[in-house]
Structure 1
Amino acid sequence: MSAKDCGSHGQKRRRFFRRLCAAILVLAFIVLVVVLLVWAILQPNKPRFILQDATVYAFNLSTPNLLTSNFQVTLSARNPNDKIGIYYDRLDVYASYHSQQITLRTAIPPTYQGHKEINVWSPFIYGNEVPVAPYNSVALGQDQASGAVQLTIRIDGRVRWKVGTFISGRYHLYVRCPAYITFGTRTTGVIVGNNAIKYQLVTSCSVNV
């Protein structure tokens, strides 16, 4: 075989691979455009969370700067989309005070939420002698003495969107729910057991994805 024939075969192979790569790129571009068009047409909305109530079993601040607390909270999540499902792959619930986490994280089992569906969870969140920053400990003691504490019930997790047979990648989910707890003679809760008080809150939560 002559050098001319080898050069001709080499050029053909290069042209073939260039055409193959171009075809793959065009196909990938078309798929991406279709997905983006479907996404834009469906206009996915974030899930909507509501903190329905909170039952306080313990909330004791001791020296030096240690907090023991035990809550049960009821949270509802609604999928507002009529053509998009939501996979909740991970949801961790905990409480914070002035941006400091004051309880352990409680995991909610992974679940799928269909179109327009509502899920309700009632996890316990607690912490035993959790160290509190000195400045937060002072503020918390003052709030308790005044009879009201503003907490935040937080949910951190990962979600995926389902459109038909297409399932998106994972997205971070951040939910923040204000919880206004009153103590002593100012309490607005209902006694439901020994040293347990239930507060009907029904507050909307901020949701970021």
Structure 2
Amino acid sequence: MADRVHPTSSPPRSADASQLPPKPDHPGSESPVPPPATYVIQVPKDQIYRHPPPENARRMKNYSRRNPRRSCCCRCLCWTLGLLALFLVLLAATAGILYLVFRPESPKYSVEDVAVRGFNLSSASTVSPKFDVTIRARNPNNKIGIYYEKESSVEVYYSDVRLCNGALPAFYQPSNNLTVLVTNLEGSNVILSSGVHSALVNDQEKGKVPLRVRVKAPVKLKIGAVKTWTITVKVKCDVAVDSLTTSSKILSKDCDYSVKLWD
């Protein structure tokens, strides 16, 4: 009988070092941090520009291009605006200084008397009245005189009908002066409509005839030794008289005026 052979256990093979897990450097050290992930972004080919688009390129070229003529015009415009601003500042400062030095005040005007001649209302066709209007002009300024120039006008209206007209005399009014002017006004063949004639007769019977006196006078101011340009003064006075006779009396009056600095 053959003997049974029992295999003997072979010694264990040494494991490959490459298959063994790495040993930590120190017993308590952490595992190594893995490398950061890498992302790939895909951009469409038609959106990749190696050069700017044609429209942007033309715009950039226009911006970068310098026009000497345009630059010169811009500089001239800037200088002009700067000089104009400086002139306005100097003008305002001069006007302020003159105002503080001379303290200008507005002249005062009023109608003191109205005498009427030749106003015949018995005929409704035409009238040719004559008015003697007394105007009072007062200059309250201490250092300013007033030159009243030619080509002035004085007119008297009833409603919208001009009854007569005339002019003021040319004269010089010094400072702190009161001047009373008597102007002779005449009307020639003034046509009165039936409605205006009836209203005028009715007002005279009531003893209150409303009239309007308009004065337009070109003047020049004398400020120290300087004479200004021509300034137009307009005066409007609403006057009510008791009758259209030489002995008429003023019942009420209200005067207002305006100044036009430039023609």
Is TM more than 0.5 here? yes
Answer whether contact 1:102 1:132 (CA < 8 A) is retained: no
1:61 is aligned to 2:111: no
Answer whether contact 2:221 2:228 (CA < 8 A) is retained: yes
Give 1:82's aligned residue.
142
Give 1:92's aligned residue.
153
List per-residue Cα deviations over 1:125-159 (Å, max 9, x = no partner). 12132123554333223212323211122211212
Deviation for aligned residue 1:109: 2.0
Letter of the 2:183 counterpart: P
Letter of the 1:208 counterpart: S
1:202 and 1:131 mapped to 2: Cα distance?
A: 27
The one of the two structures with greater contact order (alpha-carbon pairs below 8 A, sep at least 6) is 1
Letter of the 2:155 counterpart: Y
User: What is the Cα-based RMSD across aligned positions, in Å?
Assistant: 3.5
Answer whether contact 1:53 1:201 (CA < 8 A) is retained: no
Greater strand share, structure number: 1
Give 2:246's aligned residue.
196
Deviation for aligned residue 1:122: 0.9
Alignment of 1:4-153 (within 5 A): 29=88, 32-41=91-100, 42-61=102-121, 63-89=123-149, 90-103=151-164, 105-133=165-193, 135-153=195-213
Deviation for aligned residue 1:35: 3.5
Answer whether contact 1:55 1:197 (CA < 8 A) is retained: yes
Deviation for aligned residue 1:106: 1.4
Letter of the 2:147 counterpart: Y
Give the alignment's TM-score, normalised by structure 1.
0.70
Unaligned runs of 5+ in 1: 1-16, 188-194
SS in 1 for 2:175: coil
CA gap of 1:91–1:119, structure 2 versus 1, over 3 A, is farther
List per-residue Cα deviations over 1:147-199 (Å, max 9, x = no partner). 3211122211212222112222222211122332223xxx9xxxxxxx73253
Unaligned runs of 5+ in 2: 1-75
Give the alignment's TM-score, normalised by structure 2.
0.58
**Which of the two has higher C-alpha Rg?**
2
Query: What fraction of aligned residue pairs are identical, expressed as a percent?
Result: 28
CA gap of 1:28–1:130, structure 2 versus 1, over 3 A, is same
2:234 and 2:160 mapped to 1: Cα distance?
A: 14
1:110 and 1:27 mapped to 2: Cα distance?
A: 39
Q: How many residues align?
A: 187
2:139 and 2:252 mapped to 1: Cα distance?
A: 17
| More displaced stretch, 73-82 vs 40-49 | 40-49
SS in 2 for 1:128: coil
